[in-house]
Amino acid sequence: MRIYKTEDYKKMSKKAARIIASQIIMKPNCVLGLATGSTPIGLYKYLVKWYQKGELDFSEVVSVNLDEYKGLPKSNDQSYDYFMRDNLFGLVNIDAANTYLPDGLAEDSDLECERYERLIRSLGGVDLQLLGMGHNGHIGFNEPGDAFDLATHCVDLQPSTIEANKRFFASADDVPKQAYSMGIGTIMKAKKILLIVSGEDKAETLKKALHGPITPKLPASVLQLHPDVTVVGDAAAFSKM
């Protein structure tokens, strides 16, 4: 595991963006696993900036996102599909046909999960998977539980996650109660993983994830078992180590 501690959020974003940019330069047709949430926003801004300067070309890049709310159409501005178009896809020359997310409106949840797993396999797997981490240690929407989930699945969101995400909705009642998420097994199959963490409020969880026991009670701890993980965090996120 490679660990980079940066001074602040901006420098964390730049460092992580450089790692993604390097991946694209090394393999222009790479498969990127992408994440939403607050943490990667700064990183996406750097990628957009470098694209605009002519330093990055997304024309052959393929992307698969970690997760999507169940029940939200792509047109809903809280859907992860919308987020990705707003923060990255709509601002760079990635081919929209090469950007994939679970379909929040799929009629049959099981079929949708199977379709997404098959899709990732058919793309040859993920070259670099970007991850953020929740306060409870969740990655994707893999909430603390009794077992590491394996493949893409439909998740019941925990009250703490609904609480954390309600800032984006009119009220907690408007936050979807379920989501599709790559499972821990899907995430662990990525060739490389890049975890980004910012803020003191995640410092205790980050310490446990990197140095504590490997347990489904703290899903991010499973990353200790992956052979190629890079963690980029700001000083606040590392303040308990």
Q: Does 136 participate in catalysis according to the annotation?
A: yes
- The residue (of 30 and 197) whose beta carbon lies closer to ligand F6R is 197
Report the distance separating Cα 116 and Cα 52, nearest Å: 31
Q: What's the token pair of residue 32?
A: 């990127």
Report the distance separating Cα 216 and Cα 196, nearest Å: 20
Tell me: does residue 205 bind ligand F6R (CB under 6 A).
no
Element (H, E) at 223: none
DSSP for 43-58 reads: HHHHHHHHHHTTS---
Q: What's the token pair of residue 79?
A: 């859907």
Tell me: does residue 67 bind ligand F6R (CB under 6 A).
yes
The sign of the CA dihedral 142, 102, 79, 187 is positive
Active-site residue (options: 136, 200, 204, 226): 136
Tell me: does residue 186 bind ligand F6R (CB under 6 A).
no
Contact 195, 205 (CB under 8 A): no
Tell me: does residue 134 bind ligand F6R (CB under 6 A).
yes
Q: Which of 16, 19, 32, 35 binds ligand F6R (CB under 6 A)?
A: 35
Q: Does 153 participate in catalysis according to the annotation?
A: no
Q: Which of 22, 29, 38, 93 binds ligand F6R (CB under 6 A)?
A: 38
Report the distance separating Cα 69 and Cα 78, nearest Å: 9
Q: Does 108 participate in catalysis according to the annotation?
A: no
Among the listed ranges 15-23, 34-42, 55-63, 210-218, the one in contact with ligand F6R (CB under 6 A) is: 34-42
Tell me: does residue 132 bind ligand F6R (CB under 6 A).
yes
Question: Minimum distance between the CB of residue 5 and ligand F6R, rounded to whole angstroms?
Answer: 18
Residues in the chain: 241
> Which amino acids are annotated catalytic?
67, 136, 138, 143
Can you give the binding site for ligand F6R, defined by CB under 6 A?
35-39, 66-67, 132-134, 138-141
